[in-house]
Structure 1
């Protein structure tokens, strides 16, 4: 496995757009389904993340193609600067290769170095057992369940809230 994980830059817009378009075509039932990105949307999203002082996007590349993505952002106000939230995805053809783990581990190393930060949180749908197992193996704990909090598969179902605190 020759996967390279690095910070996404504005030059990665086209590769990220291809990845997200392909991911949406897979229609995974563990991610929010959004319409395909329109002209300039990926670039605007990248610019907004890059403009913040405690925010980043990590991309996993395999032979130049994006195969996984993680975006993490800490709170920007004095009452939530100690908390960061992330979302992560890996394309179907690249799953079960440790890419999600590598993205999260890289993100945690960086986020833990930020002053004041002491909590990273995420949401995971209750039927994503491999995701839940991955997060727990990295030290995330279940803090709560939002009953019927998401509707990804045509009916309201539970959403699991997890966090790592140090």
Structure 2
């Protein structure tokens, strides 16, 4: 990863940059990403980010020259029977992929996860054609738990979703 990239926890001051970054990600119309139903307002983004204070949910950003080049969010589900688990979403800007940014964001996220005593599990869904992401998650110890067959349809093409997780009790040191 370039020395010019800073990984840090997001703040509410990042809301406009975060939403612009996500708008750009979804505008790519990647086969490896499920599109949004609609873009949120800036106030909705601020409200969502306000729930990610680091106590039980967090957002990390990768910043280079004042611009976001990657984000990872760990979002608590907010339902009592799954309060021990958290969902993960990771995105890296076009032109910045395969430079170690995703790895650095995932390392920051897992380091934070290790400090939150009420959390025991991170889970995610990844489209089956996203081999680089699957490889990254597996390198960090995430395991495939199941598959949702033909869960995503883009045009005439169907894609499976892999369900993956990592348990705090079974974690190995970071790669």
* TM-score, structure 1 normalization: 0.90
Distance 1:153 1:109, change over 3 A: farther
Aligned to 1:42: 45
The aligned counterpart of 1:112 is 114
Structure 2: gaps of 5 or more residues: 170-175
The superposition leaves residues 73-125 of structure 1 with CA deviations (integer Å, 9 ceiling, x where unpaired) of 23444422221111110011110011111111101111121113221111100
Q: Do 2:60 and 2:71's aligned partners in 1 also have CA atoms closer than 8 Å?
A: yes
User: How many pairs were matched up?
Assistant: 165
* Residue equivalent to 1:71: 73
Unaligned runs of at least 5 residues, structure 1: none
- Shift in alpha-carbon separation, 1:152–1:104, aligned structure 2, 3 A: farther
Cα offset, 1:28, TM superposition = 1.5
Instruction: Compute the displacement of 1:164 (Å).
Output: 0.8
Is contact 2:129–2:159 with CA below 8 Å preserved after alignment? Answer: no
SS at match of 1:130: helix
Give distance in 1, aligned partners of 2:154 and 2:64. Answer: 29
Q: How big is the shift at 1:48?
A: 3.4
Cα pair 1:75 1:82 within 8 Å, conserved: no
Query: Offset at 1:17?
Result: 2.1
Name the structure 1 match of 2:163: 161
TM-score by length of 2: 0.86
Q: What is the alpha-carbon distance in structure 2 between the residues aligned to residue 5 and residue 115 of structure 1? A: 23
| Compared CA separation, residues 125 and 153, structure 1 to 2 (3 A) | farther
Tell me how large the CA RMSD over aligned residues is.
1.8
Q: Is 1:16–2:25 an aligned residue pair? A: no
Shift of 1:138: 0.7
* Match for residue 35 of structure 2 among 18, 33, 36: 33
CA separation in 1, counterparts of 2:43 and 2:121?
32
For structure 1, which segment, 36-45 or 118-127, has the greater mean C-alpha deviation from structure 2 after superposition?
36-45
User: Kindly tell me: are residues 143 and 12 of structure 1, through their superposed partners in 2, closer, same or farther at Cα, counting changes over 3 Å?
Assistant: same
Aligned partners of 2:42 and 2:73: how far apart in 1?
A: 20
